[in-house]
């Protein structure tokens, strides 16, 4: 279905009427004439990805548009102002279509090539000038095979410069043997909706840090960072010579590229491989249009005498703005925060993903665990809003959602993953004050809560894998840890029920925003029942929870499932637990977020900091010892080395080393806490955060002998509640600069 107001009489067109499976990128062109105009605009939906040019000029720096959606339910289109791209008289529009997940042709173990929406690339287009319809997509367009002879999601792009299509000459008809009439085709099935989230772009470029030859005659280039993107090359050689670029993130003992840990899902030999074939020009420059890889290293094979003159890596991600920064005196935590943000960026290429190479799937658990990380450092609310639409697209009538979105797969992963539908709008509202995102997702959240109630027994949910990526699950064990050294993984019912409770709490607040006070009371009552059930099922007097695993204790504390004396006893037990295992990361992704937060929030800041930074296996600091340039999927490093699911530490830096937390009593930082830690482990903290619509929050503190001095800038219209360590009451600070001082307070 097309949007009649935007697309007028446009028709969906494709290279073939009924055919699927082509790996190439078809090129569509149409000649048209322009009379004098003041403003021109075009609307385009090109699936899977499109690249739009007028008279040989690209209309935008956007890449990999549109985003991956459930194409049979919803497709995104773009509006571009093209006033300055047109000329009086004859013009030529050109659209190149890539495959993306819409026409995923390379077989893989996830069967992503067999989706219900799968079809050949197609487009819908409408050009207007001064509110007059100038050109629509129809069967009068011409289409040809272009130089991109292959492009697939997990393999890459193959480009043959000898097949480049020359520009159309004025008043000369294109060669009918090359340019065939386009075919009218069916719509992809989804409703058309204008894209509003910032699109992907090249955000940085990297130079080669090191290079060395490999035993098989190739040259290996190291760019120093594990990123998502592709390469731009400059090459010379004779026509027909080729350069083959294989991308990866890990080297073997011989210093050669090793993709065995991430290439196992792709059932073709050319995983993460781009190929360029030269024509007869003396020097040629090229970068792929439709490939994006996860890599730090590129291995380049030259065949037929091709000579690589230069190579740079292009960092590609969704182009949301950077709005925050934070650093502290601990060098390891500073570096780990850089790595967390690098992995966050690499795993936000249109949608939040688990990894930028192996799967490229929108795992809901990874996204919800790192929501605060993203919101502290990036203006990412619109990107979350767009992805939440995809979550709703994938939601079943029973309320259930899949573990991966918009690729509907991996059902029954439990509330740690499913809670993304509730956690993301709640956190965006908490950080930005955007009530609309709560209202947009409230009904879907209510359906999800009904699904949770349906699978719960006596308010306990038993669905879930337990603490995912616990070191006991890892195939890699470089520290030689035995099973007796680290406790077993928690039962899946512990974290599932803890997140069921969190969702009930969040829905209580979201019901207020949505204007449903009766449902607010119902969710509050449900939260109270879940809390009682959790205590009855898992807690014992003396601060015990489940088997006293670190994650069980951390979740109970961080999610507010224990109170009073039991809370105090449980925090002491967690502290003792982490000391006993020498601060090693005796947990997976649920514990990685809950344990440092629970410790710092309950008076054990120094223990939390030691857990985050100690350098023995398993732990974040051990990754630094092993040369990590991004966060890994497993403590042992045997799996992906660009996962963000362990990345909450960058938010922890703000909320506990800085002590800054937005309050729900005044979302969007209208009211926020500032509670610096009582610690001797840190000498300073400094950070800045652009508050939506209000200005910049700046906060820095430093230790000066026995005294601490802080400088706080409160944005206009905001109130900071400042409480020094050891002080029972907070003081309210309004707009402007405040210099604060407090004596050293003993931390535990």
CATH number (domain holding residue 11): 2.60.120.260
Q: Are 220 and 256 contacting, i.e. CB atoms less than 8 angstroms apart?
A: yes
Task: Flag whether 666 is in a domain.
Answer: no
**CA dist., res. 359 & res. 657, Å (int):** 34
Beta bridge partners of 741: 709
Residue 480, pLDDT > 60, answer: no
- List, for residues 159-198, the tens digit of each pLDDT value: 999 999 999 998 899 999 999 999 999 999 999 999 999 9
Same structural domain, 128 and 187: yes
Burial tier of 547 (Cβ tally within 10 Å: 0-12, 13-18, 19+): middle
Q: Give the 3-state DSSP-derived string for 108-159, with helices as H, strands as E and coil as C.
A: ECCCHHHCCCCCCCEEEEEEEECCEEEEECCCCCEEEECCEEEECCCCCEEE
Specify the number of domains making up the chain: 4
Residue 59, in any domain of the structure: yes
Q: Which of 73-87, 111-125, 594-608, 725-739 has the lowest mean pLDDT?
A: 111-125
Residue 662 forms part of a structural domain: no
pLDDT tens profile 297-355: 999 999 999 999 999 999 999 999 999 999 999 999 999 999 999 999 999 999 999 99
- pLDDT score of 463: 86
**Three-state secondary-structure class, residue 738:** strand
Does one domain contain both 143 and 174?
yes
Q: Quick check: 285 pLDDT over 70?
A: yes
Among candidate residues 318, 336, 359, the one where a domain is terminated: 318
pLDDT at position 748 is: 42
Domain boundary among 165, 197, 229: 197
Q: Identify whether residues 505 and 415 lie together within a single domain.
A: yes
Report the pLDDT value the prediction gives residue 4, as an integer from 0 to 100: 60
Q: What are the residues whose beta carbons fall under 8 Å from the beta carbon of 107, sequence distance 6 or more?
A: 113, 267, 268
- Residues 215 and 191 placed together within one structural domain of the fold: no
Q: Is the dihedral of CA 16, 20, 22, 24 positive or negative?
A: positive
In DSSP terms, which residues pair with 455 in a beta bridge?
none
Does residue 158 sit in the same domain as residue 36? Answer: yes
> What phi and psi values does residue 565 have, to the nearest 5 degrees?
-65, -35
Cα–Cα distance between 511 and 509 in angstroms, integer? 5
| pLDDT for the residue numbered 671 | 98
Determine, yes or no, domain membership for 715.
yes
Contact 333, 613 (CB under 8 A): yes
Position of tokens 């990128």?
A: 25
pLDDT digits (tens, 9 = 90+) for 543-599: 999 999 999 999 999 999 999 999 999 999 999 999 999 999 999 999 999 999 999
264 pLDDT higher than 70: yes
CA distances for 187 relative to 3, 195, 436, 459, 550, angstroms? 12, 18, 30, 45, 52
Let me know whether 39 and 116 are in one domain.
Answer: yes
Question: Which of these three, 267, 294, 318, is where a domain ends?
Answer: 318
Pair 630, 642: CB distance under 8 Å: yes
Q: What is the pLDDT of residues 46-94, one digit of tens each?
A: 999 999 999 999 999 999 999 999 999 999 999 999 999 999 999 999 9
Judge whether 664 lies within some domain. Answer: no
Half-sphere exposure of 343 (CA within 13 A, CB side): 29
For 362-431, the DSSP string reads: -BHHHHHHTHHHHHHHB--HHHHHHHHHHHHHH--TTS---SBTTTTB-----HHHHTHHHHHHHHHHHH
Cα separation, 442 vs 274, whole angstroms: 43
Integer angstrom CA distances of residue 432 from 75, 325, 691: 27, 17, 7
Least confident piece of the model among 236-250, 633-647, 732-746: 732-746
Q: Check if the beta carbon of residue 637 is closer than 8 Å to that of residue 623.
A: yes
User: 302 and 354 share a domain?
Assistant: no
206/191 same-domain check:
no
Residue 474 inside a domain? The answer is yes
- Give a yes or no: residue 21 inside a domain: yes
* Separation CA 396–CA 378 (nearest Å): 31
Question: Looking at residue 329, which CATH number applies to its domain?
Answer: 1.50.10.10
pLDDT digits (tens, 9 = 90+) for 672-720: 999 999 999 999 999 999 999 999 999 999 999 989 999 999 999 999 9
Instruction: Give yes or no: residues 328 and 303 share one domain.
Output: no
CB 694 within 8 A of CB 712: no
Rounded to whole angstroms, how far apart are CA atoms 374 and 428?
A: 10
Domain that holds residue 393: 324-657
Query: Do 705 and 570 share a structural domain?
Result: no
The reply to whether 329 and 407 lie within a common domain is: yes
Q: Do 725 and 586 have their domain in common?
A: no
Residue at token pair 């994650």: 551
Is position 440 within any domain? Answer: yes
CATH of residue 735's domain is 2.60.420.10
């Amino acid at each position: 279905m097309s949007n009649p107001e935007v697309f007028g009489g446009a028709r969906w067109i494709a290279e073939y009427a009924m055919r699927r499976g082509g790996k190439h990128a078809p090129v569509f062109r149409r000649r048209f004439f322009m009379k004098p105009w003041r403003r021109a605009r075009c609307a385009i939906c090109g699936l899977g990805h499109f690249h739009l040019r007028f008279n040989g000029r690209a209309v935008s720096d956007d890449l990999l548009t549109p985003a991956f959606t459930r194409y049979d339910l919803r497709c995104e289109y773009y509006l571009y102002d093209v006033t300055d791209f047109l000329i009086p008289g004859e013009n030529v529009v050109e659209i190149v279509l890539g495959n993306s997940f819409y026409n995923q042709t390379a077989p893989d173990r996830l069967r992503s090539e067999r989706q219900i929406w799968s079809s050949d690339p197609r487009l819908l287009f409408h050009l207007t000038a001064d509110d007059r319809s100038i050109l629509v997509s129809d069967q009068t367009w011409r289409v040809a095979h272009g130089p991109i002879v292959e492009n697939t999601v997990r393999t890459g792009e193959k480009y043959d410069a000898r097949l480049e299509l020359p520009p159309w000459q004025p008043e000369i008809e294109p060669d009918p043997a090359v340019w065939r009439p386009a075919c009218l085709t069916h719509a992809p099935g989804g409703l058309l909706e204008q894209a509003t989230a910032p699109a992907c772009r090249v955000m940085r470029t990297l130079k080669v840090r090191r290079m060395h030859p490999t035993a098989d005659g190739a040259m290996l280039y190291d760019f120093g960072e594990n990123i998502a993107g592709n390469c731009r090359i400059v090459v010379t050689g004779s026509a027909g010579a080729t350069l083959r670029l294989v991308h990866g993130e890990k080297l073997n003992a011989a210093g050669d590229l090793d993709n065995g840990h991430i290439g196992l899902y792709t059932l073709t030999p050319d995983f993460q491989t781009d190929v360029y074939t030269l024509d007869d020009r003396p020097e040629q420059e090229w970068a792929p249009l439709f490939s994006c890889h996860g890599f730090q290293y590129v291995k380049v094979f030259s065949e037929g005498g091709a000579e690589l003159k230069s190579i740079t890596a292009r960092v590609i991600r969704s182009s949301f703005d950077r709005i925050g920064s934070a650093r502290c005196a601990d060098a390891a935590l500073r570096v780990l925060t850089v790595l967390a943000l690098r992995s966050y960026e690499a795993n936000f290429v249109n949608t939040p993903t688990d990894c930028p190479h192996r799967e490229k799937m929108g795992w809901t658990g990874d996204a919800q665990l790192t929501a605060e990380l993203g919101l502290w450092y990036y203006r990412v609310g619109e990107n979350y809003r767009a992805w939440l639409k995809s979550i709703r697209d994938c939601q079943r009538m029973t309320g259930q959602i899949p573990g991966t979105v918009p690729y509907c797969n991996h059902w029954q992963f439990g509330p740690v993953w499913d809670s993304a539908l509730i956690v993301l709008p709640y956190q965006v509202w908490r950080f930005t004050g955007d009530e609309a995102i709560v209202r947009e997702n409230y009904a879907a959240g209510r359906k999800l809560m009904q699904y949770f109630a349906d699978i719960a027994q006596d308010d306990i949910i038993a669905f879930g894998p337990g603490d995912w990526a616990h070191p006991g699950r890892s195939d890699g064990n470089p520290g030689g840890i035995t099973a007796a050294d680290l406790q077993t993984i928690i039962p899946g019912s512990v974290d599932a029920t803890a997140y069921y409770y969190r969702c009930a709490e969040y829905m209580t607040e979201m019901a207020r925003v949505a204007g449903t006070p009766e449902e607010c009371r119902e969710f509050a009552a449900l939260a109270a029942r879940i809390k009682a059930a959790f205590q009855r099922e898992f807690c014992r007097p003396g601060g015990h929870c489940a088997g006293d695993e670190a994650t069980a204790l951390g979740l109970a504390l961080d999610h507010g499932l224990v109170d009073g004396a039991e809370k105090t006893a449980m925090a002491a037990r967690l502290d003792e637990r982490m000391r006993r295992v020498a601060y090693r990361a005796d947990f997976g992704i649920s514990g990685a977020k809950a344990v440092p937060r629970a410790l710092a929030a309950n008076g054990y800041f120094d223990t939390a900091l030691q857990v985050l930074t100690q350098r023995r296996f398993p732990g974040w600091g051990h990754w630094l010892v092993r040369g990590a340039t991004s966060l890994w999927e497993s403590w042992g490093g045997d799996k992906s080395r660009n996962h963000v699911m362990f990345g909450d530490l960058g938010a922890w830096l703000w909320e506990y080393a800085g002590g800054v937390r937005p309050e729900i009593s005044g979302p969007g930082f209208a009211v926020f806490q500032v509670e610096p830690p009582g610690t001797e482990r840190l000498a300073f903290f400094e950070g800045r955060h652009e508050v939506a619509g209000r200005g910049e929050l700046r906060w820095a503190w430093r230790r000066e002998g026995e005294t601490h001095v802080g400088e706080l800038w409160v944005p206009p219209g905001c109130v900071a509640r400042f409480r020094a360590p050891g002080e029972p009451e907070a003081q309210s600070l309004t707009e402007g600069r405040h210099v604060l001082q407090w004596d050293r307070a003993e931390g535990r």
